[in-house]
Amino acid sequence: MIDLTGHQALVTGSTKGVGQAIAEAFAAAGADVVIHGRRAGEDSERVVANCRNFGVRAEFITGDLSGPTETVVEEVYEKAIATMPGIDILVNNAGTYIDKPFLEMDLETYHTTMRLNVASPYFLTQRFAQNWVKNDVAGRVIMIGSINGRLAEPVHTCYDASKGAVEMMVKSFCVSLAPYNIRVNGLAPGLVSTPLTSIIEEDPRFKKWMELHTPNGQVPGPEVCGDGAVYLASDAARHVHGQMLLIDGGMSSWQQPDMPGDYQPRGV
C-alpha cells in the first residue's frame, strides 16, 4: 500500500463524489486532508469524520470557487494555508456539469462553467506554486479532468471545452513547474456513479447503454479515482509529469463499441 504519511492535501469540491473519494483515499494512505465545499453541512461532517477514522487530521473549509476568481481563489488559499500550513498536495476537483446544447448556450452558463472548471484551478495552482517555489517545497498537483476532454458530446460543448482546457493545463503547468520540483498530473474519469451522474441509477436503459460503450462493462463508483490520485500524489509516480490518467474502463480506446443483443459485426 502506498504511504502518504507526512503529507498534507487540499482537495477542492470534496464533500461528495470524486472529491470525497480522493480525500478519503488520501486519509487511508496516511495524509492529513483539508476538505473543501461551498457550505458546511451533513456532507462535510461525514467526509471529515470518515477521514479522521483513519487516524489522520482532517479539517473543513468553505469557499465558492464559481464566484469572482480574483477574490475566491485567494480566500480558499488563505483558509487552506491557515488550516494546514504544510499543504504540499493540491487536487483541483471542484467543477460543474451544467450545460446546454450549443445553439442554446448563454454567457452566464458559459462563464460559470469556465470560472469553476478552468479559471479557479488555474489560479489556485498558481497561488500554491508561488508558495512552494518560495519555500522550496516539492509540491504535487492533480487536476481532475474528464473523458469529455478527449471525446465530445453534442449537448455538452461548454463542459467539453472546459475539460479540454484542464488537460492542456496539466501539460503546460508541467513544463512550467517541473524545474521547481513540482509535479503536475491529472485524472480523467469516464462515467462513474456520483450525485452529478444520477441518471445512471434513474434510467436503467442509460446505464446499460454506457456499459455497452465501456470495454470492461462497468459503471463504477468514484472510489476508482481515489486509488489513481493516491498513486499520482505518491513517490511511486516521482517520474510521472504532465500526464492525464484516464480512469474510464477503456472507453476512450474503443472505436466501435459493442452492439446490443447478439449482433457482433466482423471485420469492422
Would you place residue 197 in the very low, low, confident or very high pLDDT band (cuts 50, 70, 90)? low
Q: What fold, for 8-252?
A: Rossmann fold (3.40.50)
Domain ranges of the chain: 8-252
Instruction: For residue 8, give the nearest of 233, 239, 235 by alpha carbon.
Output: 233
Average pLDDT of the segment spanning 62-89 = 96
Strands 244-247 and 8-11: unpaired
- Confidence (pLDDT) at 36: 98
Would you place residue 176 in the very low, low, confident or very high pLDDT band (cuts 50, 70, 90)? very high
Average pLDDT of the segment spanning 90-117 = 92
- Rounded to whole angstroms, how far apart are CA atoms 230 and 142? 10
pLDDT at 263 over 50: no
Question: Where do runs of H (alpha helix) occur along 29-119?
Answer: 42-52, 69-83, 107-114
Give, for 188, the enclosing helix (H) or strand (E): strand 183-189
Instruction: For residue 113, give the nearest of 132, 126, 100 by alpha carbon.
Output: 100
**Residue 74, C-beta contacts closer than 8 angstroms, at least 6 positions apart:** 127
Higher pLDDT, 266 or 69: 69
Q: Encode pLDDT of 28-57 as tens digits.
A: 999 999 999 999 999 999 999 999 999 999
Q: What amino acid occupies position 230?
A: V
- Confidence (pLDDT) at 268: 39
C-alpha cell at 69: 476568481
